[in-house]
Amino acid sequence: MGQKKDLTGSEKSKIVRYLAEACSSLKIAKLLKRDHRTIKRFIQNSQQGRKKRVEKPRRKITAHELRKVKRAAAKMPLATSLAIFQSCNITGVPKSTRCAILRDMAKVRKAERRPPLNKTHKLKRQDWAKKYLKTDFSKVLWTDEMRVSLDGPDGWARGWIGKGQRAPVPLRRQQGGGGVLVWAGIIKDELVGPFRVEDGVKLNSQSYCQFLEDTFFKQWYRKKSASFKKNMIFMQDNAPSHASKYSTAWLARKGLKEEKLMTWPPCSPDLNPIENLWSIIKCEIYKEGKQYTSLNSVWEAVVAAARNVDGEQIKTLTESMDGRLLSVLAKKGGYIGC
């Protein structure tokens, strides 16, 4: 008998909603017409979080290939393992094996910066997860801003460095050479934007609302059907320009109020799937330590990178929300891996 297909994103969403309605795993299995063990396995995996990595046997490479990899790592500081192996014309090696090989000759580090979570923050994150447990996240528009600079974000760039070598010193300009503020949104499998904030404009309540009017509302929202607008939920974080009384009242006049404007818990960038989109774009525009000479050139790079993000990648991010909510509850409001 052939192996059955994995649970689809739609089925996973239904499981979460049935759990919120206090349905047993056996009842859920009958409703979805799936094997009871499959349903139980999904629930257990969602609550346990990421499993500890188990070391697997490496794919062997020759001594000659190993020397080529070592030379490439020395010549390409801060490059990814994939870029190093591709430069050596070594294909078919999975990422886990590439990294295991590189660990013997190089190292990689990344500074981790996260806002602190106190008891109140954790309680609010749990309350938020419980409130939106039954939400259809395919109707939520996730939004955020990102600043990109000519030199790349400090402490973000990372890559493999050969043992005994020093990381190269990148070109540094005063204030990082300036930067570009970018706004975008994702909903279901669609990318909204990106839109560029005019250079020199500081986003306060008034300028933020005017920016949304000129970009999001005129160029995207206005073209949508009445039924779409009726069901869409607008998400934004708690930045002062977003959460002010002025912005809240302005959005209410646009029809985004009460249940159509998602409340957001404090210190929760890990719950916003668009943060993962920013990571994808930054990995692309700053790969191999790339730097830029003008604000227009870095903006063009952002637009090009955004165009390369396909609908399936975006759908994967938006469909991850059910799992994120379960993880928040399982971790009692603590940070989740995303």
Q: Which amino acid is at 285?
A: I
Decide: residue 73, CB within 10 A, 0-12 exposed, 13-18 middle, 19+ buried. Answer: buried
> Do 207 and 201 form a contact (C-beta atoms < 8 A)?
yes
Whose structure tokens read 């997860």?
129
Q: What is the pLDDT of residue 49?
A: 47
Q: Name, in order, each residue with C-beta under 8 angstroms of 176's C-beta and a sequence gap of 6 or more.
A: 149, 150, 151, 154
Distance from CA of residue 51 to its chain's centroid? 20
pLDDT tens, residue by residue, 145-171: 999 988 776 555 567 777 777 766 666
Distance between CA atoms of residues 187 and 319, nearest Å: 10
Domains in the chain: boundaries:
9-44, 63-105, 119-155+176-331
Whose CA is closest to 235, among 266, 260, 218, 215?
260
Provide the sign of the torsion angle of the four alpha carbons 260, 322, 270, 297, taken in this order: negative
Sort residue 47 into left (φ over 0), alpha (ψ -120 to 50) or beta: alpha
Would you tell me the crossing angle of helices 25-32 and 9-20 to the nearest 10 degrees?
140
> Do 58 and 94 form a contact (C-beta atoms < 8 A)?
no
What beta strand segments (E) does the chain contain?
106-107, 140-149, 161-162, 179-187, 190-196, 233-235
Q: What does DSSP say about strands 161-162 and 106-107: parallel, antiparallel, or unpaired?
A: antiparallel
CATH number of 119-155+176-331: 3.30.420.10
Q: Is the peptide bond before 194 cis (omega within 30 degrees of 0)?
A: yes
Cβ neighbours, 10 Å, residue 183: 21
Distance between CA atoms of residues 106 and 185, nearest Å: 37
pLDDT tens digit at each of 338 positions of the chain: 445 677 888 888 889 888 888 888 899 999 998 999 888 888 888 755 445 566 666 567 888 999 999 999 888 877 889 999 999 999 888 888 898 889 888 877 554 566 678 999 999 999 999 999 999 999 999 999 999 988 776 555 567 777 777 766 666 665 556 789 999 999 999 999 999 999 888 999 999 999 999 999 999 999 999 999 999 999 999 999 999 999 999 999 999 999 999 999 999 999 999 999 999 999 999 887 788 889 999 999 999 999 999 999 999 999 999 999 999 999 999 998 75
